[in-house]
Amino acid sequence: MHRFSHILRLGLKELTSLRHDSVLLLFLLYAFTVAIYMPAAGSVIGVHNASVALVDEDHSQLSRQLAEALQPPEFQNPVPLPYDQLDEVMDSGQFTFVINVPANFQSDLLAGRQPSVQVNVDATAMSQAFMGAGYIGRIFQRELLNYSQADTANRMPALLTSRALFNTNLQGGWFLAVIQIVNNITILAIILTGTALLREREHGTLDHLLVLPLTALEIMLAKIWSNMLVVVLCTWVSLEVIVKGVLGVPLAGSLALFLAVTALYLFASTALGIFLATLARSTPQFGLLAIPVIIPMLLLSGGSTPLDSMPQWLQWVMQGSPSTHFVSLSAAILFRDAGVEVVWPDLLALTAIGLLFFGIALARFRRSLAS
């Protein structure tokens, strides 16, 4: 009972300390509002609002039809461009796509001569260029076949039908919003606990705690539950206000289950933050240690790049990272409405990793207090 009271009071001390730290409070506000909204609303995976110019040397009904087929939101309305400016605008990067319809294009098509349309692509805009060129090719093929009234059944032996599950409109911002929350949780869990411990060491308050009848376990659990509470509350508010309210992302799964999984993930990641803080002697040194830990957790956990597209050895290595399982759990729960009976393997793995990290951090923390 005394141990529980110690952990509770120490945790309240952490919350009081955080309340008076205006920089961290502003960072929390930014991380769960602006840092969620801007990537989700502004960074779209796919073709969106791509700039197009059209060099029309044919001036025919068909060339106008091809231009009208490129419509928002994927493409901007094509801008007419003289032929002698084609190289200039490509060199200056004014347009991602410059389409050249040659003279006599319509008459050659009707005569069966198979004329060609030149699509110039600025490949420095990599994602737009790669996907947009494919979009333009399919759009033009459809328009040309319709115009020439060709028998498409003879040209296409099979009809390919695609169905997108859980995100039927293929809105990249939906997934980015949740992944950004996952990334911010990872950053804050490590930084908040690590800086809290180092701040006490630098201010001498950690020495005051050591003269009290407190154990390393009580001090560590207090820091974990207090920071866990703050991040879980911020996550819940961000999901309700920013993700669901402002961005309009439909979350099909249970928020209660996701928040419980978030708390479990914070148990593992905050323990990692305490472990890194025991290795560092100052806050700048902690920052240098945290960078090579946080960045792989963000980039290689399956949020930025699908895990199955990575080398097999790297997939096995990343199974030891709690962020890998948290990304998998987040997508399964929030988008696919998966329950515990589906996600229990990741839950079990996350629990085991959390206990391992906690044990290692506790042992290191005890040694650092004794030294």
Residues 117 and 258 in one domain: no
Residue where one domain finishes, among candidates 155, 180, 206: 155
Domain carrying residue 179: 2-31+169-370
Burial of residue 66 (number of CB atoms within 10 Å: 0-12, 13-18, 19+): buried
In order along its 371 residues, the chain shows pLDDT tens digits of 567 777 787 778 777 877 777 877 787 888 888 878 777 766 556 677 888 999 999 999 989 999 999 988 888 899 999 999 988 887 777 888 899 999 998 888 888 788 889 988 887 666 677 788 888 888 888 888 887 764 444 444 444 455 566 666 666 677 788 888 989 999 988 988 888 888 777 766 766 666 666 777 887 888 888 888 989 999 999 999 988 888 888 888 899 999 999 999 999 999 899 889 888 888 888 888 888 999 888 888 887 777 766 788 888 999 999 999 999 899 889 888 888 988 899 999 999 999 999 999 888 888 877 66
C-alpha span between 223 and 273 (Å, rounded): 11
pTM across the whole model: 0.73
| pLDDT the model gives residue 247 | 84
Q: How many residues does the chain have?
A: 371
Distance CA 171, CA 69 (A): 22
Same domain, 221 and 286: yes
Q: Are residues 309 and 214 in the same domain?
A: yes
How many structural domains does the chain have? Answer: 2
**Residue of 188, 215, 190, 206 whose CA lies nearest to 277:** 190
pLDDT value at position 208? 65
Identify whether 70 is part of a domain. Answer: yes
| Same domain for 239 and 306 | yes
Contact residues for 131 (Cβ-Cβ < 8 A; gap 6+): 46, 47
In a domain, 47, yes or no: no
Looking at the fold, whether 128 and 235 belong to one and the same domain comes out as no
CA–CA dist 75, 125 (Å, integer): 14
Query: Do 196 and 104 fall into the same domain?
Result: no
Instruction: List Cβ neighbours of 340 (8 Å cut-off, separation of 6 or more).
Output: 257, 347
- Hey, is 52 helix, strand or coil? strand
CB 25 within 8 A of CB 234: no
- Do 16 and 107 lie in one domain? The reply is no
Do residues 190 and 258 both lie within one domain? yes
pLDDT value at position 8? 80
Residues 181 and 227 in one domain: yes
Q: Is residue 65 part of a domain?
A: yes
Q: What is the CATH number of the domain that holds 132?
A: 3.40.1710.10
- pLDDT value of position 206: 67
Answer yes or no: is 40 within a domain.
no
Shared-domain flag, residues 84 and 190? no
Residue of 326, 335, 168 lying closest to 251 (CA atoms): 335
Question: CA torsion, points 346, 352, 353, 354, in degrees to nearest 10?
Answer: 110
H or E segment to which residue 270 belongs: helix 255-279
